[in-house]
Structure formats: C-alpha cells, structure tokens
Chain A
Amino acid sequence: MDYYLSVATFAALHIILAVGLNLVMGFCGQVSLGHAAFYGVGAYASAMLSVAGWPFPVAMLGGMLAAGLLGVITGLAALRFREDFLAIATMAIGFIFVGTARKLAWLGGEMGISKIPSPLSKHEYAWLAMAAAVLLIIFSLHVRRSWMGRAFSGVAQDEVQAQTIGIDIAGYKIAAFFLATASAGFAGGLYAHMTQLIVPDAFGFVVSISILAMVVIGGVGSTLGVATGAVVLTLLPEVFRIINDYKLLVYGGMLLGVMMFSPQGLAGLLSQCVQAMRRRKEAA
C-alpha cells in the first residue's frame, strides 16, 4: 500500500511540475531547461524554514514565494533574451542552483538538508498533492480558454503581432513564470517534507529534462496531455523495472521517437485520431 501511495503522490507532484512548465512553454513559447531549479528552491526554502521551527503552512508558503521570486527574475531576464538564449539561460540557472547548493554550508552542502520534520501522514501528502494538481489543471484549462490564454497564445504565435494589438507581453510572460515556478515551489515543499531528506542532486539537469519530457511527450500546450504525460512517465520506471538495464535507452528513444513522429505528443496523436474518425464518419 505504502508503495502505491508513494507512487501516486509522486505522480501528482510531477503533474504539478509538468503543467507548470507547460504554462511557460506551451502558452508563452519559451523553452525552459531548468525547471528543476525552482522545484529545488521551493524544497530548500521550505525545508530550511521547517528545520528552523516554523510551522508547516509557513514553510510551504515560504517555498512557493522563494521559487516564485526566482521565477519572476527569470521571467524578467527572459524579456531580454530570444528563445534559444532562454533555453540555455534556464539550463545555466539549473546548474548554478545545484552547484551553489552543493558548496554552501548553510544550504547543507553535499549532504543536503536532513531530518526535515514531517507533519502530515503519507495519506495526507497524497491528498494534498493530488488536490494541488487538480487545482492547477483546472486553473490552467481556465486560463487557456480565457482572455489571458488568448494573450498567451498570441505571445507564442507572434510577439510582434501581439505587441501591435496592445497586449502587454511583458506582464503576461512574468505572470506565466510566476505561476509555473510558484507551483513548482509548492511541489518542492511537499517533496521535502515527505522524504525528510533533500540533496542537491535531486534537482539537477536530469530532473529538468525529465519534466521537459513529460511536457513534450504529453503534448506542448495541452494541459491534459501534459498531465497524462506526467503520469505515464512517473509510472514507466516502476513498470520498467523488468527492463531496468535499458531504461535510459528506452527513455531517450521515446523522446526522440515522439519528436520525430508525433511532435504534438500524446495530445496530438489523440486529436489526429479524433479527426481521422470524424473524417471517416463524414465520408460514410
């Protein structure tokens, strides 16, 4: 039971991370290769607050704000950079975060932060994570359909065009970054309290790529697709323990395969299927 519960909780955390990254990538057309850094900042901030004696809600809030702040700064920097630069810049942020967390003693150094108090039970974490995930999905879907979403797509399609109709691109980009990173921070806080031990390596480049994979395989821009991608990729390693030795080979191959044959990911495949069925119905 415990095992399934922990998998379910991780799946929910990954949904939060992936849907958040989707806000940035899908809606704003910005590629972020460093999302794990925000996850990590949230984890570290909330862990340090908890260890210092602050109550759980305060620690979680602290984690969200810290991550959100870094996110806003990244968003501001993103204004100055074009797309390709941003990918590398966010990758750099990821490496800088890990590199610094590794070295500074007050961040725990290589050993990380341990003995983080765990105020909730395993069930409570699971429910909290899933509730947050559902909330984020609903919010993300709502944004998509609302004026903000149209503005976001506008930004993605053509910045210049959007600018001429008077959309405040800068504002929306920052908002997207803040949303995405604050929720990543929340996920980080949950993760820290659940596992009671965090180390810099848990938030490295590989993790950023995993989150990116969830978004890409699910289908960039599609909230539900991305959430599905997150669940699938969380369950995959569990299922794949049988083929364990070839895990990364399969993982990389999947990324490659999806990009080559269905860049819109699962969501794209689904919509293609639906369209094909519709066409067949009309023809019949």
Chain B
Amino acid sequence: MKTLFTRRLLIATAALACLSGYAQAQNIRIGFQVPLTGPAASDGKTALQGAQLAVEQINAAGGIKGRSLELVALDDQTQPAQAVPIANKFIGDGIKAVISGSYSGPTRAAAGVFQEAKIPYISAYAIHPDIVRAGNYVFRTSFMGEVQGRAAAKLIADIMKKKRVTMINVNNDFGQALSAGMKEAAPKMGLQLVSEYNFGMGDRQFGSIVASVKKDDPEVIYVSGYFFNGGPLVAQLRAAGVTAPIVGTEGFDTVNFVQIAKEAAEGVIITTSLDRDTTDPTMRKFIDDYKKRFNVGAEMVAASTHTAVNVLAEAIRKVGIDDSAKLRDAIGATKNLSSAVGTITFNNSREVYKAAQIQVIKGGEFKRFAVIDDPVLLAPPNY
C-alpha cells in the first residue's frame, strides 16, 4: 500500500519537476541586481516594483514571441563587495543579460565582471561615469551625473535666473558625480558656486551645515542626496529661516520626501526623469499602472527600471537572447524608444539622450515646472 503511494508520489513529483524545468527552459530569464537590504533598501524595493510591473505587462501582452519573461532578482546589499560574487552567480546560472537596479557603487563593481564575461549589462539609474566606461557590453538608460548637473545649471541660470549657488552633496558616487557635473557646467552658464558642503548617507541632522548656509546666504541651494537625507535637510533649512529656493535631484523623486519634509517640501524643484503632468501616452500609462498595481505614487527609480526592462525586452524581441554580441548591438541601436522616462536614444558610447523633466512640489504633489529638451546641452559624452 505504502510503497504504491510513494511510487506514485515520486512519479508525480518527477513529472512536476520536469514540467517546471521545461517551463523554465521556455522562460526568458533576465538578471536583476537590486539592493533589498542595506542603506538603499527603500530605493531597492521601488526599483524591484518598477521592473516587476514591466515584466508583468510584457507577459500579459503575450511575452516575447510567445515566451514569458522571468526576472531573477539577487540582493547586492548596496555593497560593491557583494556585487561581484552575485555577478558571478548570475553568469554561473546561465543568465544572458542583467539589469542593475542598484546604486553606483555596486553597479560599478559588477560592470567589470559582466564586461569580461560579455554579458550585456544595463544600469537603470546609477549615474557614475565609470560604469559605462567598463566596456561595450555596459549600457545606461538614465542620466549621467554630468548631464544632470548641466540640466540643473541651465535650470538655475536660464529658467530661474539666479547666480549664486551653494551646493550640498551626499558623500558617495551619486553625490560626487552630480557635483562634478554641476561644477563643470556652472561657469559656462555664468553661475557662481559660493560654497560647498558634504554629508554622509547616514546623516539626518544637518545643524552645522544649515548654520553655514544661513551665513553664506546663497540665491539657490543645490542638493544632491536621497530622500532620507533631503527630507530632513530641507525641513531643517526652512525651520532655520532659510528661504532661498532649493533645487534637488532625482534622489528626491519619491513620495517619502514629501512625507518627511511636509510643508518645507513646498516649492522644492527637482531634476528628474518622470513628469507627473505628462501627456506622453507611454509615461502616462506607466504612472497610472504603477499606482493601480502598488497603490502608491510612481517614482523615478521605478520608472527607470521599468524602462531598462523594456529596452532589454525590445532588443531581445529583435534578435533573441542567445547571441550576446547581437544582443549588445541591438540594445545599442535603440532609437526613439517610447518609455516611462520619455523618448530615449542611445549614442555611440551607450549613454542615452532624453529630455530632462523639471518638477516642482506644489500642494504636496509633484507637478511639472519645466522640460529641458536640448539634444546639444544634454548630449551625453562620446568616448
């Protein structure tokens, strides 16, 4: 009795295993490097959601030539030291293309590994220049640090018409890349960098910096940081009586920023890739679908990973996933692709051009302030 049952169970299990293996073989698996733990865990969660939404939408529309897309996510703990082993794990598991939904440090560490293994690697929102310089298999679907800096400089000089700027940067790849971009563009736009201060990613109390800014009395304050820095910083600046307009970057593009800073968030302007007031159908669809799926407002990080998945999916649709050189070329050939972050086109150095969305916070919501669509100004470098 028992043995018959056991045998049947074994057969059923084996059949199931074969079937799932078969199904797995049918799925197109793409890797997703994301910080699910560590200091970037909040952005990591959002990044994963954006990618998941993209995969769900693609599969709902019939997948890629009938095959389902499958996202294989691994946690890099926001640590470059962890990024290298999981890059090796992806490669060892036979993953043919990987997207990074992580910060610049870990992405930069993994880029070298993927380049050597000739696996196409797309950085969804990490902005450090060295990432793409790792080689011709590495791409970026978001703004480089220096391009964002240029956009901010143009925003401050030409649109806001101010001159004296104080920069406050977060101490890491992200902040340093942005500050380099701003420093390079500022003199060309006629801006004067009055002072510069730095803080650590873990800082929440900015008393000394606030006091120093008060003393410097700039016309505009440019802050590069994440929402968990920017929120308290902006609140503390306003509480201390500093009324100068504040320009932030995509790190502030989250609902949490407004929740933390409350009234102080009013009037803060950010350079980002998501326009809540957009009429562009693809961007609009993303914003609405994200809200429906996750019950929370869409954010830049999610839009970026959503875009990266779509760019990769489009390329796979054209040439399949098995020939990495062909896939690499197909990704690089992406032109005028309509995505959640606007219309994007790669240049010869695997960086994208897209318009910069300038948003302002009014009534606790992100609204359009301006759009900088200048292919010359915002051209990513060719090297």
Contacts and interface: CB of A to CB of B under 8 A. Distances in A.
Determine whether A and B are in direct contact in the complex, meaning some CB atoms lie less than 8 angstroms apart.
Answer: yes
Interface string B172-213: 110110000000000000000000001010000000000000
Interface in A179-234: 195-197, 199, 201-202, 207
Given A238-B85, A244-B75, 11 more contacts: A3-B88, A3-B89, A6-B84, A10-B85, A111-B128, A195-B109, A197-B108, A199-B105, A201-B80, A201-B81, A241-B89
Looking at B75, B82, B117, which has the most chain A CB atoms within 10 Å of its CB? B75
Interface in B54-109: 74-75, 79-82, 84-85, 88-89, 91-92, 105, 108-109
A7 B105 contact: no
B218 interface: no
B36 interface: yes
A244 B176 contact: no
A103 B169 CA distance: 12
Interface string A105-124: 00001111010000000000
A248 B79 CA distance: 14
Interface string A68-107: 0000000000000000000000000000000000110000
A247 interface: yes
Contacts of A102: 171, 200
A108 B105 CA distance: 13
Contact of B88 (A2, A111, A112, A247): A2
A1 interface: yes
6 contacts: A110-B172, A114-B108, A199-B105, A241-B74, A241-B89, A247-B37
A276 to B, nearest CB: 37
Contacts of A244: 36-37, 74-75
A197 B116 CA distance: 14
Interface of B: 36-37, 74-75, 79-82, 84-85, 88-89, 91-92, 105, 108-109, 112, 117, 128, 130, 171-173, 175-176, 198, 200
Interface residues of A, number: 28
Contacts of B200: 102
A3 B80 CA distance: 16
Contacts of A109: 176
A110 B89 CA distance: 26
A7 B85 contact: yes
Nearest to A197: B109
A199 B176 contact: no
Contacts of B85: 3, 6-7, 10, 238
A247 B76 CA distance: 12
A202 B171 contact: no
A107 B216 CA distance: 30
A13 B223 CA distance: 40
A26 to B, nearest CB: 26
Contacts of A4: 92
Interface in A1-60: 1-4, 6-7, 10
Given A197-B109, A202-B80, A114 B130 contact: yes
Contacts of B112: 196-197
Contacts of B108: 114, 197
**Interface SS majority for chain A:** helix
Given A3-B85, A114-B108, A244-B36, A197 B80 contact: yes
A6 B175 CA distance: 31
A282 interface: no
Nearest to B105: A199
Given A10-B85, A195-B84, A201 B105 contact: yes
The 7 closest A-B pairs by CB, nearest first: A3-B92, A3-B88, A202-B81, A110-B172, A199-B80, A6-B88, A244-B75
A245 interface: yes
B306 to A, nearest CB: 22
A222 B176 CA distance: 45
Contacts of A195: 81, 84, 109
Looking at B36, B88, B108, B175, which has the most chain A CB atoms within 10 Å of its CB? B88
Contacts of A1: 92
A200 B88 CA distance: 22
Contacts of B81: 195, 201-202, 207
Nearest to B77: A247
Looking at A6, A111, A241, which has the most chain B CB atoms within 10 Å of its CB? A111
Looking at B81, B84, B128, which has the most chain A CB atoms within 10 Å of its CB? B81
B88 A110 contact: no
A3 B37 CA distance: 22
Contact of B91 (A2, A111, A201, A247): A2
B250 to A, nearest CB: 18
Contacts of A196: 112
Nearest to B73: A244
Nearest to A244: B75
A3 B84 contact: no
A10 B109 CA distance: 16
A2 B85 CA distance: 10
A196 B113 CA distance: 10
Contacts of B128: 111
